[in-house]
Amino acid sequence: MSDADEPGGEPGHEPDLDVDPALATAVLEIEGHAAAEGWDRPARLYALVETASLVRREPALAAAMGLDDASAEGSLTAVEQDHLAADQPLEVALESITWSPEVAGCAAVVERLVLPPGADDDLPEDPGSAEEFAREHPDRQEVRIVAGATRGGSTYCALRLRAHDDDQSVVGGAQLVPGLLELLVATLEEETRE
């Protein structure tokens, strides 16, 4: 098994030893599910629950999902949320989301355009113009980002470029998309948010 096959592994890099293996596994499973559905999908949000807790609290649901006590220990199960507004960017929606205490973490899937280094210098300040600039840039790359965070402070991301759309080219790491991770972590904070 190569480093890229290990949770936290990146092609050609040593595995990130600070990565929570349960979170990394959940994020990579979500990424695989998103990859199977293809590109040009809306953003999605998942609650991450401790699988052992799910098996105890919801045995019928766990059985329907193929989960049992043997698979439960030390793992997280992703539960897709269906309340994201299609007309609102994920980053805006995350500002108003909080989770119930039984949710151990959360993960989001979003597709974005990435520009090459130096292109930021020409990026218009107006958000609409900036979006059009990115869509029309000849060197843009489409990327699918799956980012996850836990209440314990662990984070993990998996990135897949549309131009390299194969499982061996998925890049993973704890801090690949810090802005999105920060928003996800904020949804898990227990203090009251306005």
Q: Which two tokens stand for residue 172?
A: 């993973």
Domain extents for the chain? 3-9+22-188
How do residues 124-135 score in pLDDT, each as one tens digit? 777 777 777 767
How many Å apart are CA 25 and CA 23, to the nearest integer? 5
How do residues 48-105 score in pLDDT, each as one tens digit? 998 888 777 777 777 777 766 656 567 898 999 987 777 788 888 899 899 999 999 9
How do residues 141-193 score in pLDDT, each as one tens digit? 889 999 999 999 999 999 999 999 999 999 999 989 999 999 999 999 875 44
- Which amino acid makes up residue 98? T
Sheet containing strand 155-161, strands side by side? 76-81, 44-50, 105-114, 141-150, 155-161, 171-173
How do residues 99-113 score in pLDDT, each as one tens digit? 999 999 999 999 988
4 pLDDT above the threshold of 50: no
pTM value?
A: 0.79
Q: What mean pLDDT is reported for the chain?
A: 82
Q: Which two tokens stand for residue 58?
A: 């919801």
Q: What's the distance, CA 184 to chain centroid?
A: 9
